[in-house]
């Protein structure tokens, strides 16, 4: 009998350094697990005009493909809600995200996602 595995979601930005998040997801995964990778861009962000960001997404897409995962790029002005909806739709068990930069002492994404996705195990990977 085949046992169903966990669904792992990795939240990436348009930076090549996000490869470390995908590698961390691999550490959490076993044979029956599925890895999903998502990038949510605000509606007014034009990453296609920015050569560096487009290149980074293409690089991350290659890594996703090499581990049998899909990289989904969505547009939304409410990034947290979009990630939550995607996580619920795909029955995500584990969420991997990077430590957010900024002035705030606590990770805004982590707090917002934890409140809504309280049954999901969230791992914040330090920079």
pLDDT in tens, 3-48: 578 999 999 988 888 999 999 999 999 888 999 999 998 887 665 5
Question: Which pLDDT score is estimated for 107?
Answer: 66
In the chain, domain spans? 11-125
**CA-wise closest residue to 20 among 68, 59, 70:** 59
Q: Which residues of 23-36 are buried (b: 16+ CB within 10 A; e: fewer)?
A: ebbeebbeeebbbb
The per-residue pLDDT of the chain, averaged, comes to 85
Question: Which pLDDT score is estimated for 106?
Answer: 56
Residue 49, pLDDT above cutoff 70: no
Question: Which pLDDT score is estimated for 6?
Answer: 93
Superfamily of domain 11-125: HUPs (3.40.50.620)
Asked whether 96 and 24 are in contact (CB, 8 A), the reply is: yes
Residue 105, pLDDT above cutoff 60: no
Its pTM stands at 0.86
The DSSP secondary-structure symbol of 6 reads -
In this prediction, residues 63-90 reach a mean pLDDT of: 93
In this prediction, residues 99-116 reach a mean pLDDT of: 71
Question: Which pLDDT score is estimated for 67?
Answer: 93
In this prediction, residues 88-107 reach a mean pLDDT of: 78
Q: CB count, 10 Å around CB of 13?
A: 19
Among 40-44, 70-74, 114-118, whose mean pLDDT is lowest? 40-44
């Amino acid at each position: 009998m085949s046992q169903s595995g966990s669904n792992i979601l990795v939240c990436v930005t348009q930076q090549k350094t996000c490869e470390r998040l995908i590698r961390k997801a691999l550490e959490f995964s076993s044979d029956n697990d599925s890895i999903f990778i998502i990038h949510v861009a605000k509606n007014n962000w034009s990453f296609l005009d920015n050569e560096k960001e487009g290149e980074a997404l293409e690089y991350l897409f290659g890594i996703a493909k090499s581990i049998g995962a899909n990289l989904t790029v969505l547009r939304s002005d409410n990034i947290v809600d979009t990630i939550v909806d995607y996580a619920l739709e795909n029955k995500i068990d584990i969420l991997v995200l990077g430590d957010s930069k900024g002035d705030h002492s606590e990770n805004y994404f982590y707090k917002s996602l934890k409140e809504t996705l309280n049954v999901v195990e969230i791992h914040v990977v330090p920079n």
